[in-house]
Chain A
Amino acid sequence: MVQKLTSTQTELTPEQEALCDEVVREYIDDLPVARPVDLTKVKVWLDIVYAMYGLETPRIDVVQSPEAACERASSLTGQAQTELDWVGVGDGGWISFYDYFERVKVLTHDENADVQALKDYGRVAWDSILLDECAIVVARPIALKVDEAGNLHSATGPCIEWGDGERDFAWHGTWMPERAITAPRTYTREEYLAITNTEERRALGEIAGWDWIVELLGSTTIDTWCDPNTGLNYELSRCANDGPTLLRKQSPPLKDGSQPWYSEPVHENLLTAQAARKWQATSLSPEECEREPALQFDVES
């Protein structure tokens, strides 16, 4: 039994700290669980919401994907609907937060009853589009895969599949085209360089392997540099056949402790990795950056 959190406490106890992890794990572990829509629990929640509008809960239509919900709502309203209500599984952050405070007895169960109804709803449905005469409820996906941190992720196939066949692909939370996951090494040099989304390009480098990317681009490392202040590494490379000059740089540690690498095009006149870093962070010319490559205090973005 976890100790009650009191107003005289200035730190969480070790048990209360451990409960944080327990609650988080419970919510993240529940994300991939496929469950059929339970209309009894759905109705409990919808009664609360419709009462806010002074309405009775109307007929409930269950659809199998967010796209299907948007289509149904567009058809029923006669207007293009492209957003869900943003109420359901996506509220997990808030629900888990209040769930924690209920478990440490800051809240009573009755005080947290509506939040618990929302939690129960999210366990059997994904989200909704509510109309005055019809509640469109989206069923949970039939398959959902996440990494250890809870980000959508699958290294071998779709990360999410809906009951009507809709599916999507992601690499540690970054949306990817299907081909990048299932056949990453089929990309041509031109296709790789045409990717403008830095996160997508980084993810493809991780999936296909940075060595393979270097070989694909025919790039040669012309300079490396380690920032003595941060310990972060930078690599400047030139691609063959008048290809771009790329700065490959290491991210500062993220919350999960990882330090992913990013590869971004920089000006072809740059000669050193340190100057390329400065060129990215300032509006100075390549020549000015090469002359004085150290970043001034307060300048780096």
Chain B
Amino acid sequence: MKRLDQVGVRVRARVLDRVWGRVWDRVWGRAAARVRVRVRDRVWARVWDRVWDRVWGRAAARVRVRVQARGTK
């Protein structure tokens, strides 16, 4: 049997990145030019810091790193 090539990369490109573009455009891309920096810093980046950053890197991501470090016994 063969392993599917780069499943994580493909899922990020085909599922997660697609949504990223849509959200980015709606939150930031449609903001008026004069307030774009403010929207980026106080809306987009705020949600990024307050949600993504606090969930990412917690338990699950750490377990992944551990598995990699240990390898197959």
- Taking Cβ atoms with an 8 Å cutoff, the residues of A that contact B are 5, 7-12, 17, 20-21, 23-24, 27-28, 31, 48-50, 52-53, 55, 66-67, 70-71, 73-74, 76-77, 80-94, 96-98, 100-101, 106-107, 111-112, 114-115, 118, 126-134, 144, 146, 149-152, 160, 168, 170, 173, 175
Contacts and interface: CB of A to CB of B under 8 A. Distances in A.
Given A17-B50, A52-B14, A85-B8, A144 B59 contact: yes
Contacts of A144: 59
B60 A168 contact: no
B50 A93 contact: no
Interface residues of B, number: 50
Interface string B19-43: 1001100110011100100110011
Contacts of A131: 1-4
Contacts of A168: 63, 66
Query: DSSP class of B's interface residues: helix, strand, loop or mixed?
Result: helix
Interface of B: 1-4, 7-8, 10-12, 14-16, 19, 22-23, 26-27, 30-32, 35, 38-39, 42-43, 46-48, 50-64, 66-68, 70-73
18 contacts: A7-B27, A70-B72, A73-B3, A77-B1, A77-B3, A82-B72, A83-B67, A84-B67, A85-B7, A106-B23, A107-B19, A111-B19, A115-B19, A132-B4, A149-B58, A150-B55, A151-B58, A175-B62
Contact of A98 (B19, B53, B57, B73): B19
Contacts of B19: 98, 107, 111-112, 115
